[in-house]
């Protein structure tokens, strides 16, 4: 069952069960034989621009391995490390603590599981200034006794210009940059919701617009204002170059289900 991220905006703790057929325990000494990869769609991003990253766990051996599906930040299973020039350090990339049940499961040779996550929390701390940063992820086995790490990738953070520069200045002057794209402030305070709405209205053509629109859609969904939420998700779901278009489509399906419930006698 899909757990919608908007509910994360309303609570800092939730339980997700990642159910898959598998065995009751991991096989010691095999987890590190997996191949874990970290990818980004581009090598260059603007300051404070949310970054979609793809994490893939694959069995590239000739034998069955036992792994898990916990490719999600904030669970304790998946950690992100960033090297800012002083060595890799684990960083916090989720404003929530997620209690996750990650049963071990078998991966046949060539089998993989893939998850697209977004970096949108504390980006002003994660990448404090323009420059090149090295990132890698580490995944723990279900029993926490073993781990596998990806090879590092490089991401360049650059200063925006033109409309994007004005958009970044707006965020810095009117909101907390660490939380802006998570929507948390907009949930808790009406004035922060107004800031997010103003940003989308004024900077809707900026590079930052899609992620701001998604955050606003999630806030409206969480407030059960489905008419407003639908407007944002419909637009994003039709964008072939948007990494979370499918997630926007899933929200539209959920909105349809919720509205049908209201129409029932």
Per-residue pLDDT of the chain (265 residues; tens, 9 = 90+): 344 454 444 443 333 344 333 333 334 458 999 999 999 989 999 999 999 999 999 999 999 999 999 998 888 899 999 998 888 999 988 777 777 778 899 999 999 999 999 999 999 999 999 999 999 999 999 988 999 999 999 999 999 999 999 999 999 999 999 999 999 888 888 999 999 999 999 999 999 999 999 999 999 999 999 999 999 999 999 999 999 999 999 999 999 998 887 766 6
For residue 263, what pLDDT is reported? Answer: 66
Query: By the 8 A CB rule, do 175 and 61 touch?
Result: no
pLDDT at residue 46 in the model: 98
Backbone angles phi, psi at 131, to 5 degrees: 155, -175
CB 177 within 8 A of CB 61: no
5-158: CATH number: 2.60.40.10
pLDDT at 242: 94
DSSP string covering 104-140, please?
-EEE-TT-EEEEEEEE-SSHHHHS-SSEEEEEEEEEE
- Residue written as token pair 């004035």: 191
- pTM across the whole model: 0.84
List beta partners, residue 36.
57
What CA–CA distances, in Å, run from 259 to 2, 57, 221, 226, 230?
Answer: 18, 37, 12, 8, 11
Look at residue 264 in the predicted model and tell me its pLDDT.
Answer: 65
CATH architecture for the domain at 162-259: Alpha Horseshoe (1.25)
Q: What pLDDT does residue 265 have?
A: 60
Question: Domain spans of the chain?
Answer: 5-158, 162-259
Rounded to a whole number, what is the distance in angstroms from the first to the last CA of the chain?
26
Q: Which pLDDT value is given to residue 6?
A: 45
Same fold yes or no, 5-158 and 162-259: no
How many Å apart are CA 179 and CA 197, to the nearest integer?
15
């Amino acid at each position: 069952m899909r757990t919608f991220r908007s509910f994360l905006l309303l609570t800092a703790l939730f339980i997700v069960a990642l159910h898959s057929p598998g065995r009751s325990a991991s096989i010691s000494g095999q987890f590190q034989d997996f191949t874990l990869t970290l990818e980004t769609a581009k090598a260059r991003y603007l300051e404070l621009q949310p970054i979609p990253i793809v994490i893939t766990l694959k069995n590239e051996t000739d034998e069955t391995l036992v792994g898990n599906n916990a490719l999600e930040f904030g669970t304790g299973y998946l950690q992100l490390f960033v090297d800012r020039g002083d060595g890799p350090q684990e960083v916090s990339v989720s404003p929530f603590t997620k209690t996750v049940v990650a049963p071990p499961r078998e991966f046949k040779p060539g089998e993989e599981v893939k998850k697209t996550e977004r970096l949108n929390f504390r980006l002003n701390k994660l990448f404090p200034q323009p420059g090149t940063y090295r990132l890698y992820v580490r995944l723990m086995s279900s029993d926490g006794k073993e781990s596998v790490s990806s090879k590092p990738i490089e991401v360049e953070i650059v200063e925006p210009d033109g409309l994007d520069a004005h958009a970044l200045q707006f965020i810095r002057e009117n909101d907390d940059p660490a939380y802006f794209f998570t929507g948390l402030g907009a949930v808790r305070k009406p004035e922060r919701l107004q800031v997010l709405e103003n940003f989308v209205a004024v900077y809707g053509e900026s590079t930052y617009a899609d992620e701001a629109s998604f955050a606003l859609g999630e806030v409206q969904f969480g407030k059960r204002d489905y008419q407003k939420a639908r407007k944002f998700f419909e637009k994003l779901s039709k964008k072939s170059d948007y990494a979370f278009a499918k997630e926007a489509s899933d929200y539209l399906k959920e909105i349809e289900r919720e509205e049908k419930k209201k129409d029932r006698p």
